[in-house]
Amino acid sequence: MAISSAFLVASYQVRITEAIGSRDANELFLNVIIQFFLIFIFVLIVATFAAFIISRNISRPLRVLTEAARIIGEGNLNISIKISRKDEIGTLGEFFNNMVIKIKDAQERQKEISRLKSEFITVAAHQLRTPLSIVKWAYRSVLDGDFGPVSDAQKDILGKANIANESMINLVHNLLDAARIEEGRFGYVFVRLDFINFLKSLLEEKKIVAEKKKVRLLSGNTIHGEVWLNADKERLSIAIGNIVDNAIRYTVAGGSVELNISQEDAWVTLSIRDTGIGIAPEDKDRLFTKFYRGSNVMHMETEGTGLGLFISRNIIKSHGGEIWCDSEQSKGTTFFIKLP
Ligand code: ATP
Ligand code: MG
């Protein structure tokens, strides 16, 4: 502004000098420039102040909205913002609050659906348990010859039916366990546990399954030393049992499964390594979710609910531990269970 005023004055300089003489003209030019400069400073101050007020009016509600969005992002929906204005920002605040109410409603509905689903599964599984146990008892009695001699052909067909029934019983158990986990009713009784002896018994139990599948089950270094844990023996047996079962199940005949432990500080890590079919990289992230089964196991092993790893991870987490795996397709998989 000062520069343009100087130009303006300069353009009239000759005519003004002629009219009022050079000394008065110089004084006049100086006065004009100083006045323009003062006006410029005043306008600058007013503009800065106005910009500050406007920006405060916009940025404060924006800060409130950003903070509210952050809190919602953390999963807390018990929030309502107060912007008592009638302009666009006030409308935005109103929309924001309505949106939070709608998300909350949807979440409550989802929770209720989930609860009903879980309740339905629990009731259905409970109802199935008794008849399946009776069928199991009936098969066993006939197979054991309690009702007279059984021919080889009869044994064969009854044996297959018995295996199918066993897998139904397993499914019912898994469904009940998964429902209990989700409802927070999967109770634990922690005791001091001799981990080495625990693994010995587990291996003994799983050897029968491995032999049937012609997979070598190796105890690695787990037969040495002494490791004590604070654990629920029955639950931990389900968790580690599932991983060993998987390793045997997803390894073809002639392969092997080996258990090893390593200790570091107050942690023990159990590794279960198999020479099986491996896990596709795209399946890895979803393995521990309910009912998920890898794309490559469908042709190999049709039986399975996809609940084993979900249950195992929950049990390991309840023990303060972690579970993860490394795998290479067609080469093998190693599951790691780290426990305090
Ligand atoms: P079930 O609930 O009867 O155990 P499942 O074995 O299919 O059925 P999970 O134990 O949860 O279910 O395992 C999920 C999936 O993870 C399996 O279907 C399989 O694709 C993959 N998986 C788990 N362990 C292994 C392994 N050792 N080698 C290859 N794939 C594995
Ligand atoms: Mg399994």
Residue of 283, 293, 307 to mutate, ligand 1, most atoms within 8 A of C-beta: 293
Residue owning the nearest CA to atom 4 of ligand 1:
308
pLDDT, residue 301, reads: 67
Ligand nearest to the backbone CA of 302 = 1
Residue of 163, 166, 246, 337 to mutate, ligand 1, most atoms within 8 A of C-beta: 246
Ligand nearest to the backbone CA of 293 = 1
| Residue list, ligand 1 pocket, CB within 6 Å | 174, 242, 246-247, 250, 274, 276-279, 287, 292-294, 297, 304-310, 333
CA of 246 to the centre of ligand 2 (A): 5
Cα separations in angstroms, 9 against 4, 41, 285: 9, 19, 76
CA of 155 to the centre of ligand 2 (A): 27
- Structure token pair of residue 300: 């190999």
Least Cα distance to 77 among 95, 104, 107, 108 occurs for: 104
Residue owning the nearest CA to atom 21 of ligand 1:
294
Range in 232-246, 287-301, 306-320 the model is least confident about: 287-301
pLDDT digits (tens, 9 = 90+) for 245-264: 999 999 999 999 999 999 99
CA of 267 to the centre of ligand 2 (A): 25
pLDDT digits (tens, 9 = 90+) for 97-123: 999 999 999 999 999 998 888 888 889
At residue 3 the predicted structure's pLDDT band, cuts being 50, 70 and 90, is: low
CA of 308 to the centre of ligand 1 (A): 7
Ligand nearest to the backbone CA of 250 = 1
Residue located via tokens 């047996």: 237
pTM listed for this prediction: 0.72
- Phi, psi (rounded to 5 degrees) for 264: -145, 125
pLDDT digits (tens, 9 = 90+) for 188-231: 999 999 999 999 999 999 999 999 999 999 999 988 888 999 99
CA of 45 to the centre of ligand 1 (A): 71
CA of 119 to the centre of ligand 2 (A): 24
At residue 89 the predicted structure's pLDDT band, cuts being 50, 70 and 90, is: confident
Residue owning the nearest CA to atom 29 of ligand 1:
278
Cα separations in angstroms, 320 against 8, 241, 255, 267: 81, 18, 32, 10
Distance CA 196, CA 71 (A): 46
CA of 334 to the centre of ligand 1 (A): 12
| Residues with CB in 5 Å of ion ligand 2 | 246, 308
pLDDT digits (tens, 9 = 90+) for 145-175: 999 999 999 999 999 999 999 989 989 999 9
Q: Is the Cα torsion angle 43, 49, 51, 57 positive or negative in sign?
A: negative
DSSP state of 237: H
CA of 304 to the centre of ligand 2 (A): 6
pLDDT, residue 4, reads: 65
Distance CA 165, CA 159 (A): 10
Least Cα distance to 248 among 279, 277, 289, 281 occurs for: 277
Q: In the predicted model, what is the mean pLDDT of residues 328-340? A: 95
Ligand nearest to the backbone CA of 305 = 1
Chain centroid to CA 107: how far? 18
